[in-house]
Amino acid sequence: MLDPNLLRHDPAALALRLRQTRGFELDAAALEHLESERKALQVRTQELQNLRNTRSKEIGMLMGSIARLRATEEHDQADSNLAKAEEIKAEVSGFGNELKASEVELERIRVDLDAIALGIPNLPDDSVPAGADESGNVEQHRWGTPRSFDFEVRDHVDLGARNGWLDGEAAARLSGARFTVLRGQLARLHRALAQFMLDLHVNEHGYEETSVPVLVNADAMRGTGQLPKFEDDLFATTVGEGEAASKRYLIPTAEVPLTNLVADAIVEADRLPLRMAAHSMCFRAEAGAYGRDTRGMIRQHQFEKVELVSVTRSDASDDEHERMTRCAEVVLERLGLPYRRMLLCSGDMGFAARKTYDLEVWLPSQQTWREISSCSNCGDFQARRMLARWRGEGGKPEPVHTLNGSGVAVGRALVAVMENGQQADGSITVPEALRPYMGGLEAIS
């Protein structure tokens, strides 16, 4: 979430900035009204709490004096102190109800303010171009040259079906639309891609291999920004029964459990940056997704990714963002896949991101570039939601910066390898980087 000071001190200016950069409408008037109520109630609640504490001390002193006064036969003074104590008790009881009501109302306002804050997207970095949608994205550079074919190009679905490797019909019978069964050498190639990516990021790029759960609780989803705004795009289940039952969510990306490993923690400066890599199943409902991307493996309910997550100091996150994106680029270069890097505009970034680079790979069947990796710097946005902090030389904790990126999407990498490496006879050339994981095979057919 954003720094609370931005919401408290000038909500009108914040609302304008969000409208201009994100197309997000913040009700500044409602926010100001709630904040005004909160301040007044907080002042009054503190007054009542202080008054209760002061009066309670007076009652204690008066009651403590009664036994001493009676022992010295100062009965009149003892009776007077008792009467005064009872009078103060009645006074405390009188404003006690007001204090209780104030505390309840103050909590309600805090819940309403938190609900507003949790629904506000991150603010773009100053280097992010303005734009409403993907048409405002800016190309940074390209690598590789798309291959020219002297035969009719097939898409990955036809290539897979021709060899019996990719079976959408069987998956549909098992699970419905947007699932795929992989068989034989194509299944092996899919596994080889994931192993190659993990080995590259761990052995050469310095990430720590991490295995994480694919079921997480609501707090974890809230911490990285999936909840409450994007609940419709999540798969969920219930663990336990009755009062002990609790909701668990299937992760849309390993970013969620990896980033939440530092939730509610203070990380010492000498441990930063933390760099983690995980290969995991990912699950997305893909609500509202239609058209060509629902055919084959481009956009599925279940897919695999090798995810990269970094946790850094605030003054190091920009450099870490460039480094992470370069790590993802190396994957595509080792596979010989032409790609381009895009700097996303303010209107096309994800909810939690302050700056994002997309890597887009060339797909011959579509004669266009398609996203295969997205690397985002979230600044302190997620850290504030998770209470994730670091302690510098001064000793005062401050929010860490969190970054995440696909390094890369395994299924989409498989699609790109199939289409770019296809031959006229339907065989597929195995990239050199994958051959050690394929028993030395140079092609699958």
* CB atoms near residue 445 (< 10 Å): 11
For residue 430, what is the DSSP state?
A: P
Q: Please tell me whether 406 is known to bind a ligand.
A: yes
Interior CA angle at 85 toward 81 and 90, to 5°? 150
Distance from first CA to last CA of the chain, Å, rounded?
50
The residues carrying an active-site annotation are: 284, 299, 371, 374, 412
Residue 105, both tokens: 């109302």
Distance CA(175)–CA(52), nearest Å, equals 62
Q: Please tell me whether 372 is known to bind a ligand.
A: yes
Q: Please tell me whether 58 is known to bind a ligand.
A: no
User: Do 130 and 136 meet the contact criterion of CB atoms below 8 Å apart?
Assistant: yes
Short-list 187, 206, 88, 161, CA closest to 426: 161
User: Do 360 and 342 meet the contact criterion of CB atoms below 8 Å apart?
Assistant: yes
Is residue 286 helix, strand or coil?
A: coil
User: Do 341 and 365 meet the contact criterion of CB atoms below 8 Å apart?
Assistant: no
Q: Please tell me whether 374 is known to bind a ligand.
A: yes
- The dihedral formed by the CA atoms of 78, 79, 80 and 83, expressed in degrees to the nearest 10: 120
Contacts of 442 (CB under 8 A, 6+ apart): 429, 430, 435
Q: Please tell me whether 253 is known to bind a ligand.
A: yes
3-state DSSP percent of the chain in helix, strand and coil, to 5: 50, 20, 30
How do strand 401-409 and strand 302-312 relate by DSSP bridges?
antiparallel
Q: Please tell me whether 285 is known to bind a ligand.
A: yes
Is residue 86 helix, strand or coil?
A: helix
- The dihedral formed by the CA atoms of 43, 49, 53 and 54, expressed in degrees to the nearest 10: 40
Residue 404, both tokens: 């995440």
Q: Please tell me whether 284 is known to bind a ligand.
A: yes
Binding residues for L-serine: 253-255, 307, 406
Q: Specify binding-site residues.
A: 253-255, 284-286, 307, 371-374, 406
Q: Which residues are part of a known binding site for ATP?
A: 284-286, 371-374
